[in-house]
Amino acid sequence: MPSTTTPDGVTRLRDIADLVAGVPHLLGFHPTDSLVLICFAEKDDSVRVGLALRVDLPADQDRQAVAAQLLAPVLGHRTAEMVAVVLCPAQPDPWPAELPHSGLIAELDRVFGSVDVPIRHAVWAESIVDGAAWRCYDEPDCGGLLPDPAANPIATASALAGNVTFASREEMRAVLDPDPPDALARRTAIIDALLDSFGGVTPPGFDGPEAALRMVHATITAATEHPLRLSDEDVARLAMALANPTVRDACLATVLGDHAGAAESVWLALTRAVPGPERAEPATLLAYASYLRGDGALAGMALDLAEQADASHRLGRLLRTALDHGLPPAELAVLALDGAEEHRRLMGPA
């Protein structure tokens, strides 16, 4: 089996069952009724996991459209080969003569074969739990029972990197649920009052973008030392600070520093806490931080929220294009470098 690269090094897998059992930790959640493409790219004279894509299993008439939809991110990530995993129950016999969604696998073979990106293995599994049945589409004697996903080498590497694997996509999405409506209404009133009183420029206590950026960084520093607690006034002032594009762009540099984890926790808290169109700013920063960390699922969910808050958000649209085309996270690091330059211009080194 190829190896999968993590921030802490290289994790080697023994066989295809190990790879399938590791899918939840590659995605960040346990998928169901899904097609998962695990893309391998050539790096340092070896082939390593570069991207994991998940879509809902399509109806028969939608196979071609789904295959075409997946083509751009696969090619954008310079994929050398893939493993396709179909996850769904097989009824009533767990070892049917024809595995579920065989037609989908045939369509993927056709589409990706035409661009010289072979599917090395195509696997069906009834679910990803300890002892779940799995079987290869093209090898009658290839199959068995999955090992425990919690004891998987990818799970260990993911935990060491500080990542969380959620029980479901819905559970992951729930971490982004907005705060209660009454809290959002209070903050909306504060933001509106600030805008009315100060001409939409800066709230009291800000003396230009430098002061606003210092306040944001003070919040991030505090988050490294104790659980984050923000009053309604704190949320409103931080929302106003990030609404300044200069401040927002400088905050992209936080993915490069020692406080990257704390910064991401602040963006997550503000994505939940900030009302109205101002929510687009922390949601976009959260999407960027998640994407560079390798969590494409959370990045996509955060971008959905940013687009709902402000469909014309320039940075959000840029990140959406990157996700849709499978741009490797490292290639987006240039935005953080630009942000670091902006940070130095405003207030010295990050």
Would the pLDDT of 299 be above 80?
A: yes
Both structure tokens of 111? 């589409």
Q: Compute the mean pLDDT over every residue in the chain, rounded to the nearest whole number.
A: 85
Would the pLDDT of 10 be above 50?
A: no
Residues whose CB falls within 8 Å of the CB of residue 278, separated by 6 or more in sequence, listed in order: 191, 239, 240, 242, 243, 309
Give the number of other CB atoms < 10 A from CB of residue 260: 17
Position 204 confidence tier, pLDDT thresholds 50, 70, 90: low
CB 325 within 8 A of CB 76: yes
CA distance 279 to 309: 6
Q: What is the mean pLDDT of residues 51-68?
A: 91
Give the number of other CB atoms < 10 A from CB of residue 345: 12
Residue 3: predicted pLDDT: 40
CB 174 within 8 A of CB 166: no
Total residue count of the chain as it appears in this document: 350
Q: What is the mean pLDDT of residues 305-310?
A: 94
Q: What is the mean pLDDT of residues 47-74?
A: 87
Would the pLDDT of 205 be above 60?
A: no
Q: How many helical (H) and strand (E) elements, i.e. helices and strands, does the chain have?
A: 15, 8
> Which residue from 157, 32, 145 is spatially nearest to 88, judged by alpha carbons?
32
DSSP string, 130-189: TT-EEEESS-TT-EEEPPPGGG-HHHHHHHHTT---BSSHHHHHHTTPPPPHHHHHHHHH
CB 148 within 8 A of CB 21: yes
pLDDT in tens, 221-260: 999 888 889 999 999 999 999 988 889 988 998 888 788 8
40 DSSP β-pair partners = 49, 81
DSSP string, 250-291: HHGGGGGSTTHHHHHHHHHHHHHH--GGGGHHHHHHHHHHHH
**Helix H or strand E segment including 247:** helix 245-251
Residue 232: predicted pLDDT: 96
Q: What is the mean pLDDT of residues 269-293?
A: 93
Position 208 confidence tier, pLDDT thresholds 50, 70, 90: confident
